[in-house]
Amino acid sequence: MNTKNICVLVSGGGTNLQALIDAEKRGELGSGKITCVIASKTDAYALERARTNGIKTRILIRKEYSDIASYSKAMRDILFEEKADLIVYAGFMTILDENVCDAFPNKMINVHPALIPSFCGKGFYGLHVHEAALTKGVKVSGATVHFVTAECDAGPIILQKAVEVKNGDTPETLQKRIMENAEWKILPKAVQLFCDGKITVKDGVTIIKE
Ligand code: GAR
């Protein structure tokens, strides 16, 4: 199978990027190769992780664009330049519009730190997601990997993994448990399934050939 170029979009610490890098080193991304990491901020620690591992980095600063449409077009052009076969949002905190989503249908995936359709959509990102889960008092949360569409967190679901909420959890402890037990496992797995051609989408629902 031909190598698939994976572009990873990041905004922060990049622990999910690290999980992908580690999976690739173990030979667990199928035909996928992380060829470029694109950050929305110059100080994203994820860039350090990419550089340490010899992966090309690019920076597209959100604040330098007046609106989301112009930012999305610039991102689309970079992704074309990089010949991206798969785009992974790994803690990427900007919602790109249809200029990108329509150019890469069912070729962009995102990891979200809750069980969609709970605690998702605009405003639900990072620790806010876990704060909302604790405020509601859910006993189970988790993570979801899904295809990205122009509607935030609404694209076809690929994989989900549940994680227990424990007494005394803070947003930080819950985030850590969900990252370690769910996100860092299902994100590389979803990338592997994609690169192995095992995901199809029909009527907004994915079918996974295991
Ligand atoms: C992760 O928990 C990811 O699921 C979340 O931000 C964190 C990034 O951590 N993403 C979102 O909330 C997107 N809606 P990382 O930079 O260490 O991978």
Please state, for a pLDDT cut of 70, what percent of the chain lies above it.
100
User: How does DSSP assign 82-108, residue by residue?
Assistant: TT-SEEEESS------HHHHTTSTT-E
| The pLDDT of residue 210 | 77
| The pLDDT of residue 131 | 98
pLDDT digits (tens, 9 = 90+) for 30-64: 999 999 999 999 999 999 999 999 999 999 999 99
Euclidean distance between CA atoms 208 and 80, whole angstroms: 27
Report which protein residue has its CA nearest ligand 1's atom 17. 15
Q: Which of 70, 62, 123, 122 is nearest to 97 (CA)?
A: 70
Considering only CA atoms, give the Rg of the chain: 16
Query: pTM of whole model > 0.95?
Result: yes
Q: At 139, is the pLDDT very low, low, confident or very high (cuts 50, 70, 90)?
A: very high
Residue 62's domain is classified under what CATH number?
3.40.50.170
125 C-alpha to ligand 1 centroid (Å): 7
> What domain range includes position 182?
4-208
3-state secondary structure of 18: helix
DSSP state of 65: S
The number of folded domains in the chain is: 1
